[in-house]
Amino acid sequence: MIQRLQSLYLLLTTLLSLLFLNGSFLNFINKSGSVIKVTFNGIVRDTGGQGFELIEKLLPVSAFIILIPVFSLVTIFIFKNRKLQLWLASLVIILIVGFIFVTIFYSWFVITEYGAEIVPGFKMVIPVLILIFAILAYRGIRKDDRLIKSYDRLR
């Protein structure tokens, strides 16, 4: 299970995607100097000393943030069924691509609606890393599947 390289890639996908549950993953500053953040709960604005004000709930982002680690973790533990594991690994890749597109859409929304500029951060790179690890895991699972099929042909 863990000794396979694709299991390590899926574990990294799970751990990196869990980082989005806590804190903000996109930060913006508008012209007036207030901070707007995209978090698991939605788009929030820093109101100064009063805390954060929820501007809009983002159900698609929350769904992606929950589904990606769940499906990648399930994919690790169904190593005996390679067809299902391949299907779930491809589903994880599709979910990650969907998450990236939804994140880009909401970034564009915040930039146009509130006249904000994006503040670069390390959590902006994490979805791309998650996608790379998921693709490497899929390739590893597919390689194992081909290897097993080639051994079956020799019997």
Q: DSSP of 36-96, one letter per residue? A: EEEESSEEEEE-GGG-EEEEEE-HHHHHHHHHHHHHHHHHHHTTT-HHHHHHHHHHHHHHH
Question: What is the pLDDT at residue 51?
Answer: 74
Question: What is the pLDDT at residue 144?
Answer: 86
Percent of the chain with pLDDT over 90: 46
Residues whose CB is less than 8 angstroms from the CB of residue 13 and which lie 6 or more positions away in sequence, other chains included: 68, 69, 72, 92, 96, 130, 133, 134, 137
2 pLDDT above the threshold of 50: no
Whole-model pTM: value is 0.89
Question: What is the pLDDT at residue 1?
Answer: 42
